[in-house]
Structure 1
Amino acid sequence: MDLSRTARIGALCWIVAAPLFLAANVIVGLRWTRPPFSWAEHNISDLGNVSCGVWDTTRPRYVCSPWHDAMNASVLLTALLLAAGTVLTWRVAGSGRRVRAAQSLLLLAALGYALAAVFPADVDENAHVLGALLIMGLGNLGLLLAALAPHATTLGRLRALTLPMALIALAGTTLFFTQHGLGIGVGGMERVAVFPLPVWACCVGVAALRRPAPDHPRSAAEEGARQ
């Protein structure tokens, strides 16, 4: 795959998105003191809530995120990086309905990140939940479609990476929305549902940049000069 400069920038956007998002989860969570942030008990969204107090009638828990602005800014930047990566690598991903459908769903997932960042759960819960559905629902469905892309396409050649991550993410989504923690807590299950997509994008970006470019054929003039 001979990447153009545009596609290389897109691959770099995908590579940066996952470390940024994961680092924000860790760093902002560490700023919690009383009580400490728990990946098993608390949702990712709790890191972005702007006010302190008991939150969520289904699973009541105390939420107070001192660095909520940093979390929401990081999630918004993650959204922009995922969207830019998808758009800038649009052509090199391949062609066909499944590839285009997968790319479209990945763009909707990026929109979901943006909605979740701009509308924290305790500011506009409906918009925030819509963002979560776009990420965990349509985004993970996009991963599955990417795994089912034809083998001749770039996405299809990465099926061994994509399919397990898609199945894990979809299983995590189902268990999260049905409130089953399976020993890691409902908050932990949300991470199982959310983290695979940006991690997959990062891996795809690395694979794209590491793939050697093919040798360029010599022109007729060059061949004539060598003779």
Structure 2
Amino acid sequence: MEITYTFMIIITILALILTIFFRNHKITIKVGLLSWVSLSVYFHIEYIVIQATTSPYKFLKQPMSDLGVTTCDFNTHPLAPYEICSPYHLLMNWTFTFTGIVIIVGAVGLHRFWPRNKKTIIATGLLVIYGLSYNISGIFPADINFLLHTLGSLPGMIVQIPALILIGISIHKTMPKLAFWTYVPTILTTSSLILLFFQPFIMYLPGGLLQRILYGSVFLWMTITAIVLWKKTGIVIYAHIYRKGISPLL
């Protein structure tokens, strides 16, 4: 593995350690809010990477992982009989890696906004897995280690669904509007996942677009949710949360 990808692993581990260590510190709240808001730039970066490809990239058909493939050729991984050439693959893989990190930081940092119960603890744990899954797809590009890339990516296609459902159920009394908003991307990401399962049998389904809806709907939920929580609470969140002792992660 190249030193760059080893460096990605080191940064991920450090981020996990720091996030867990400072999970009850007041700065973690603000960092968590900023982390989820930053997800709004993901598809802007992807657009830049797509524009730099030197072989035709079919946005509606090809998976996002193709943009992180490190070589220019046909058959670069078992699911790519077509040509791939993404000169900005390193930018894409760093984006995958940091996207996973900010998802994790946001999930842990904003956990205390949710009611203190087992449902929200499980939901936060699932969102951490979701972030790690996305992170792995950048650390192990499909052409370098297809098995780890695929196995690492699979949980991130599923775990966000129960996580959002559990959060929606937990906050429907205290934050009914946010709960309703939570169910919207839950329906979108679930529908996309179901349709992706049928893609091998229905060839005209736009797999690339469905994958982007699968992830993008959750990114949108995280971004909007962070903005709502920020506006709802403002800078008084620190005093309120620590005075009331709301829901530490562990």
Asked if Structure 1 and Structure 2 have the same fold, meaning a TM-score greater than 0.5 normalized by the shorter chain, the answer is yes
2:189 is the counterpart of 1:161: no
Could you say which residue in structure 2 is the equivalent of 1:93? 114
Q: Distance between the aligned counterparts of 1:161 and 1:49, measured in 2?
A: 35
Q: Distance between the aligned counterparts of 2:97 and 2:72, measured in 1?
A: 22
The one of 222, 225, 231 aligned to 1:201: 222
Q: Is the 8 A contact 2:114 2:167 kept in 1?
A: no
2:40 is the counterpart of 1:18: yes
Q: Is the 8 A contact 2:54 2:87 kept in 1?
A: no
Q: Distance between the aligned counterparts of 2:27 and 2:60, measured in 1?
A: 41
Aligned letter for 1:41? K
Q: Distance between the aligned counterparts of 1:153 and 1:177, measured in 2?
A: 36
Aligned letter for 2:31? I
Structure 1 unmatched runs, 5+: 218-227
Q: Percent identity?
A: 24
TM-score by length of 1: 0.83
What SS does structure 1 have at the residue aligned with 2:158? helix
What SS does structure 2 have at the residue aligned with 1:211? helix
CA apart distance, 1:130: 2.1
Could you say which residue in structure 1 is the equivalent of 2:166? 145
Number of aligned positions between the proteins: 212
Could you say which residue in structure 1 is the equivalent of 2:137? 116
Superposed CA deviations along residues 202-224 of structure 1, whole A, max 9, x for unmatched, are 1111011111457999xxxxxxx
CA apart distance, 1:60: 3.0
What SS does structure 2 have at the residue aligned with 1:38? coil
CA apart distance, 1:109: 0.4
What SS does structure 2 have at the residue aligned with 1:13? helix
Q: Is the 8 A contact 1:111 1:134 kept in 2?
A: no
CA apart distance, 1:17: 2.2
Q: Is the 8 A contact 2:39 2:219 kept in 1?
A: yes
Could you say which residue in structure 1 is the equivalent of 2:30? 8
- 1:22-41 matches, within 5 Å, as 22-35=43-56, 37-41=57-61
- In structure 2, the CA distance between the partners of 1:33 and 1:117, relative to structure 1 (3 Å rule), is same
Q: Distance between the aligned counterparts of 1:103 and 1:195, measured in 2?
A: 19
What SS does structure 2 have at the residue aligned with 1:158? helix
Q: Distance between the aligned counterparts of 1:192 and 1:200, measured in 2?
A: 12
Superposed CA deviations along residues 57-108 of structure 1, whole A, max 9, x for unmatched, are 5563221111000000111111111111111122122211221111111000
What SS does structure 2 have at the residue aligned with 1:195? helix
Q: Is the 8 A contact 2:199 2:205 kept in 1?
A: no
- In structure 2, the CA distance between the partners of 1:98 and 1:41, relative to structure 1 (3 Å rule), is same
- In structure 2, the CA distance between the partners of 1:153 and 1:96, relative to structure 1 (3 Å rule), is farther
Superposed CA deviations along residues 29-50 of structure 1, whole A, max 9, x for unmatched, are 1101332x22112110000011
TM-score by length of 2: 0.76
2:170 is the counterpart of 1:135: no
The structure number with the bigger radius of gyration is 1
Cα RMSD over matched residues?
Answer: 2.6
